[in-house]
Amino acid sequence: MRRRACALHHVRTQGVRGFSARAKLAAKALIATVSIAAVVVVAARSLAPSLSLATLLFWCAVVVLLFLVVSILWAFVNLQLGQWILRHGGTDPQWFWFRAEPPGLAALREQQRSLKNNAEK
């Protein structure tokens, strides 16, 4: 029995070779930033037509940099809080906001403890 060839056998599904994941992420972030800045510039030109293009681009760059700094600081604080929770006995940082541990976790821990005790005997 002969196998049929796929119609898309020549299409690569693994992405462009030679580029690292960081380079792809940086390119995507740059494209998104430029696209958002272009939308903001168009909106700002219609809101304040008397501003020069240089002033408008300067303030757009300031806003983008401010957003970038705030995003990085937010991620840093969020990760530090999660690590602090785990170091102080928390089960999962996402469950920190709830009053109790996930349902069934106490029973699962007890089951693992009994299996460990039985294996040691």
**For position 31, what pLDDT does the model report?**
93
The parent domain of residue 99 ranges over: 91-121
Q: Say which residues have a Cβ less than 8 Å from residue 15's Cβ, sequence separation at least 6.
A: 24
111 with 59, same domain: the answer is: no
**For position 36, what pLDDT does the model report?**
84
pLDDT, averaged in runs of 10, over the chain (121 residues): 54 59 89 86 86 85 88 94 82 71 79 88 72
10 with 65, same domain: the answer is: yes
59 with 113, same domain: the answer is: no
pLDDT digit string, tens, across residues 71-94? 999 999 999 988 888 888 777 777
**For position 73, what pLDDT does the model report?**
97
- Are the beta carbons of 33 and 64 closer than 8 angstroms? yes
84 with 95, same domain: the answer is: no
Count of domains for the chain: 2
**For position 3, what pLDDT does the model report?**
54
